[in-house]
Chains A and B, each alone.
Chain A
Amino acid sequence: MPRSQQVARPIVRSLQQSCSAAVPQTRSIAARQFSSTASRNDEGTTQQPAASAPQRLSDIVTGSHWTPEQLEKLTSHTMGSRRRRAALATSSDIPFEQMPYQCFQEARKIVNEDRQEKVAKIIAETEKIKRIEAANASTFRGGESYKQKRLVSLRAYVEELKILADINDPLVKRRFEDGMGDMNKPIYRYLADRRWRAMDYKIIVQRINQFHIVPDLLPKFDPTMDVKMSFRGQPIRPGTTLNSRVTEVAPTLKMQVFDKGERLLSVVVLDADVPDLDLDTFTRRCHYLATNIPWDPTKKHLPLRQIGTPSFQTGGDLAVPWLPPFAQKGSPYHRLAIFILVHNANEKLDAAKLKQMYDGAGREHFSIKSLRDKFNLDIVGFNLFRSEWDENTAAVMERHGIPGADIEFKQQHFKSLKGPRKARGWEAKRQKPKYKSLWKYTKRIA
């Protein structure tokens, strides 16, 4: 076969396929959509893709990850290399799972078999759980404690099986990588967690240690949720020193939790390096506090400036409004820490009480530890940026009525521990009355 024919072969073949689409398909498609996991009552509402209709480009448009315009651009036939355009032009009607590669199809069969096995196991284990739950604790040799332990371990095993059932599915992988995974399903949460822990988590932990968040603010802390921030639409890497004009408005947080269910969150932004010259030490100041924010794995963005406004859909109460971070001239950089706290037992906090406690004068000497302990919260998320004196700080402070822009800090001067040095040299020696004759040379020089 000449080279040119070899190159054109897949195109021709796919064209032939699309031409014969009118004829009923001879290729047996897998009986059911591969990753449309069975609906489970312990999960939230999941939208099942229709089992009969395979995913097409037009279906992707409805996804939430990309805007329709972006998708249009991505899938347009006028962009990219010639090879890509040829592939797109001739294969847009072939669904992903029907890609005509023998190895791919064979592998899918094997993965499918494995999945069936796992599903059967899940069913068996669930029944076992039900049986144990129904059984009287006295029938076990270990009694009630044994029963509970057994149930916990079985439930953990079922969760593990749920992930194992879908972990090898190429469609799941694809959907996750396209950002269209349904976070109500354990597999996508698992994948998201794994991706977060691969790098972002490590960076956050490094920032916590190198910026002494532990032990300055908390004795120990391990974040369990992904928190990213962006100022004025610009994503900011943790620990960046930002211009005070950029930080004049509150950031938008991009948050992802990896465990199932609804929960209530509080968001705290605090300055960990407020110089207090009276006590000659650094204290903390609360820059922002919002509470009672309902959150679940499907939610992503939390614009802090919108919390408390009636038009904001997500909900939540604003206790302490945003105070732009500022560092007076000469003070070392200020660490602005963003903490996400989860309410234990989903208890709602009294925003009015928080406002009374922490707004106004209560902002100063703020302690995240005491907030956590007083209101029964757990700290789960963290991010950080820094603030320094810059050319815009004075203007920002003036706009927001913050006093102190006219102050400049300077390094404290310490007197040398060495005593005063005796004057040395020819002239110094001849200052005494003994050398009175030489005074005309030694006194009033220059």
Chain B
Amino acid sequence: MNLIQLRRPLQRAAVGGCQPLTPLVRTSSLAERFAQLRLDVASGNAAVEGRRYASVKAQGAYRLTNKKTIPKKMGAKKTGDQYVIPGNIIYKQRGTIWHPGENTIMGRDHTIHAAVAGYVKYYRDPARHPKRQYIGVVFDKSDTLPRPVGAPRKRKTGLVAGPRKVIEPIEPDAITASGIPLMVTRHEKVEVSATPEAVTAKAMTVEATEPASETPRKITEPSSVIAALLEERNRSRAIHDAKKRELRAKEEQELAERKSTRVFRLHENYAYRETNWELGRLIGDAGVVQGTEKTSSRKRKFRNRRRRKNAVYTKVKQGALDRVQRRIEYRQFVVAKRIERAAHAAEHKKKLAAKKAANRAKANAEARDKKVDA
């Protein structure tokens, strides 16, 4: 719309305001007076309205369907009171225009599905939510939703009875049809000799547990309290350490046994060998003994990670360290050499000086001799 067209109503209003309300023309008859008072829509307000003509059709009348997009086919797929079976789509939508009510379920894309076989009902439930609209399914076509407050739900089982199938657990065969065992396990008992450390630990535990069973001593002065507590702390620490050592020894034993246990399986070529994954486990990652890693605690996890990293980078690190060592050695060598050279030079200088002195002395002596001769 152009600007002039927009301005026109304002213009008109301004003009109307300036005009006196009572007409200046003297009217005689009552009819004429009424005619003056009447709002003359036809003639007066044409400018205010901004009249449009039938030569241009309403907006959107010529709109063509967009052929470049895929139609989403939203909307109601079932009308009210229509029969549905479980899983039928009742309404497809973007967002929750309709909410799932009784016996309906909402899908991942907000589609409303029927959960039971029955008749579709579109309804509102102000007791549940003041603004939402719901879709429900009822078993009787004559039922209405929402149900009265406090009325029990109407439910159908949707089940049919049949004989119960009893599934027997299948046990894997131990031998082949020809009577050969499918699997051979080779256990190896590993004896880890009891270290003297462990023995002492045991002794300590005995020693530690004995005084604990005593009745708490009578406390008379504060120093004795603190002394007792310190004593107790040391004792508990000793017990803890001994336990830890024992546990570690046991773990080592178990690990050794586990590592040496081999399971050989019968393969297609009638050879007994370990499976590939078992062989792979034997090798494991660098620095990791498979199956021994415990991630029970955070700290242990970090420790394991560090150990693994160390194992990988040990060589690199060692190389770097060696380089540094070599450099240090070279530097030391250079310094020593320099010192040696300096010492050598000093000695040489001294020697030269001595020689010079000797020469001078010689010359002096010769000169003196000459003098004497003269």
Contacts and interface: CB of A to CB of B under 8 A. Distances in A.
A and B together in one complex: yes
Contacts of A281: 155-157
A329 B160 CA distance: 11
B186 interface: no
A214 interface: yes
A275 B159 contact: yes
Interface residues of A, number: 40
Interface in A407-446: 407-417
Interface in B131-186: 149-153, 155-165
Interface stretch (A78-86, A139-147, A309-317): A78-86
A89 B164 contact: no
A414 B86 contact: yes
B233 interface: yes
A12 interface: yes
B221 A331 contact: no
B157 A407 contact: no
Interface of A: 8, 11-12, 15, 77-78, 82, 85-86, 89-90, 212, 214-217, 219-220, 275-277, 280-282, 329-331, 405-417
Contacts of B226: 8, 86
Given A281-B157, A282-B155, A408 B164 contact: yes
B293 to A, nearest CB: 33
A306 B212 CA distance: 43
A406 B165 CA distance: 8
Contact of B150 (A77, A215, A407): A215
Given A219-B151, A277-B161, A282-B155, 13 more contacts: A8-B222, A15-B222, A78-B232, A82-B229, A89-B225, A215-B149, A215-B150, A281-B155, A406-B163, A408-B162, A408-B163, A410-B160, A417-B88
A282 B84 CA distance: 22
A406 B161 CA distance: 10
A282 B157 CA distance: 7
B141 to A, nearest CB: 16
A372 to B, nearest CB: 14
B211 to A, nearest CB: 11
B117 A414 contact: yes
Given A8-B222, A11-B222, A414-B85, A408 B165 contact: yes
Contacts of B233: 82
Contacts of B152: 215-217
B17 interface: no
Q: Is the interface of B mostly helix, strand, loop or mixed?
A: loop
Interface in B64-98: 83-86, 88
B158 A411 contact: yes
A408 B161 CA distance: 6
Given A215-B153, A220-B150, A86 B159 contact: no
Contacts of B216: 77-78, 89
A58 to B, nearest CB: 15
Given A414-B85, A417-B85, A89 B219 contact: yes
A77 B225 CA distance: 12
B215 to A, nearest CB: 10
A410 B150 contact: no
Interface of B: 83-86, 88, 117, 149-153, 155-165, 212, 216, 219, 221-222, 225-226, 229, 232-233
A276 B155 CA distance: 11
Nearest to B221: A15
A215 B84 CA distance: 26
Contact of B159 (A85, A405, A410): A410
B160 A407 contact: no
Contacts of B83: 417
29 contacts: A11-B225, A82-B229, A82-B233, A85-B229, A86-B229, A89-B219, A90-B219, A90-B222, A212-B153, A215-B149, A216-B152, A275-B159, A276-B157, A277-B157, A277-B159, A405-B164, A406-B164, A408-B162, A408-B164, A408-B165, A409-B162, A410-B159, A410-B161, A411-B159, A411-B160, A412-B158, A414-B85, A416-B85, A417-B83
Most chain A beta-carbon neighbours within 10 Å: one of B117, B152, B229: B152
A274 B156 CA distance: 11
Nearest to B157: A275
A90 to B, nearest CB: 7
Contacts of B159: 275, 277, 330-331, 409-412
Contacts of A330: 159
Most chain A beta-carbon neighbours within 10 Å: one of B212, B216, B221: B216
Contacts of A220: 150
Nearest to A369: B152
A329 B225 CA distance: 66
B139 to A, nearest CB: 9
Nearest to A273: B155
Nearest to B147: A215
| 8 cross-chain pairs, A with B, having the tightest CB-CB distances, nearest first | A219-B150, A408-B164, A414-B85, A409-B159, A275-B157, A77-B216, A412-B158, A215-B150
B3 to A, nearest CB: 60
B219 to A, nearest CB: 6
Most chain A beta-carbon neighbours within 10 Å: one of B156, B159, B165, B216: B159
Contacts of A416: 85
B163 A407 contact: yes
A85 B162 CA distance: 67
A277 B225 contact: no
